[in-house]
Amino acid sequence: MPALPRLAAPAPAPAPAAAPTVRRTPPALPPPLRPPCRACSLGSGRRPPRPPSATAADAPRGGPIPEPEEVDQHLLAALRAARIRDEESRRSDPLFIDPYAAVLLSHDVAHHHMDYLVSHAVVCHDHYRLTTRYIDDKLQNLVSNSEDIRQIVLLTDGMDTRPYRLSWPRLSVVYDVSPGKVFSTATRQLRGSGAKVSRNCVLLHTPLESPDLQEGLSKNGFNGNRLSLWVLQGLPLPTITSLENLLLVISNLAMKGSIFMGELPHFPGCTASMDMGLEQENLEKLFFTQGFQVSFVRYDDVVKDVGLDLATPWEQRGRLLFVAEQLRFSDAQMESFRMHFERIEEDADEDGFEEL
């Protein structure tokens, strides 16, 4: 069985303390904000322009969408990303193919108000295309080269089609953590499109709004005594605190040796005055305090690997690709150890009583 690749060690840091027997209870990740437009809620206090229509997860496919009081900004962000994936899929030399993006764009908001989506497009189309290709390749490589990774947790915007467009090993369980309304809307749109997970695999959704995300994943059958792969792209993380809370959840759930990878969003309030080196150093410390050894991936290297020809010089734009390994034991492992030692002590007590 091919072994998981070892990750490069981070900058010298104090040796990690022994894993505690009692873990902190992770605070619930913040629910989607209203209005949840990341660029606006983290920057100025001004609201984004309001498009003329909105969404409802329970609207029939192809039917009119009711008009609620406010537009779901998470839905619009997911539709904008789907639009880029659809455009990429139609190119003569695509970095990836998403056959379901066009189905998602048949949503009333996307179909009738495409100008709004264009005017509020993702910061850099090339950036999103490159990140998606890198994550696709890395994810498939890790899963196909390990017989033990059969739990995959996708931390998404709710319209991630990887569960359907990528091949998964037999008996894989794919967990999607994303805004509940967006995921519900995407599920309705994809109904009848032929979107299915690989044979003998299953897709389970846990809403980002869950009051206890760790408990929600556990109730869905996540097993902390088995290796897992966690993938981050698109999940709304408005602040550095929300990232810290997410790391705590993953650290509690993920078995030692599990992998967490993906793209970290830009946190304007924390990184505006930092250069890239200082930002990475601070993030390394944050990951390490939660039990992860992290390494960062240069976008320039990915550009060369995939042969992407960019019209303008590449810019980091405050985002970071990363791969991290879990160094701690999960809560489930700690509980297993505790029960094992208790049984040993009980057996020893019984043997001593029989000798008397």
Q: Is 319 contained in some domain?
A: yes
Mean pLDDT of all residues in 322-328? 97
> Residues 216-246: pLDDT tens digits?
999 999 999 999 999 999 999 999 999 999 9
pLDDT of 52 reads: 39
Q: Is 313 contained in some domain?
A: yes
- Checking if the pLDDT of 40 tops 50, the result is no
Q: Is 198 contained in some domain?
A: yes
Buried b (16+ CB within 10 A) or exposed e, 115-136: ebbeebeeebebbbbbbbbbbb
> Residues 62-113: pLDDT tens digits?
444 444 445 688 998 999 999 999 999 999 999 999 999 999 998 554 554 5
Q: Is 14 contained in some domain?
A: no
Domain tally for the chain? Answer: 1
| Residue 327: pLDDT band with limits 50, 70, 90 | very high
> Residues 300-321: pLDDT tens digits?
889 888 877 665 555 556 689 9
Q: Is 347 contained in some domain?
A: no
Query: What are the Cα distances from residue 144, in Å, to 202, 222, 257, 303?
Result: 17, 20, 16, 23
pLDDT of 317 reads: 60
pLDDT of 8 reads: 47
CATH number at residue 277: 3.40.50.150
| Residue 51: pLDDT band with limits 50, 70, 90 | very low
Q: How do the residues of the chain divide into helix, strand and coil, expressed in percent and rounded to 5?
A: 40, 10, 50
pTM of the model: 0.76
Q: Is 303 contained in some domain?
A: yes
Considering only 37-46, 54-63, 108-117, which range has the smallest mean pLDDT?
A: 37-46
Q: Is 10 contained in some domain?
A: no
pLDDT of 314 reads: 54
Could you tell me which residue, 278 or 1, shows the higher pLDDT? 278
Number of H helices and E strands in the chain, helices first, is 14, 7
Q: Is 74 contained in some domain?
A: yes
Domain containing 226: what range?
A: 27-330
Distance, CA of 18 to CA of 20 (rounded, Å) = 6
Could you tell me which residue, 21 or 86, shows the higher pLDDT? 86
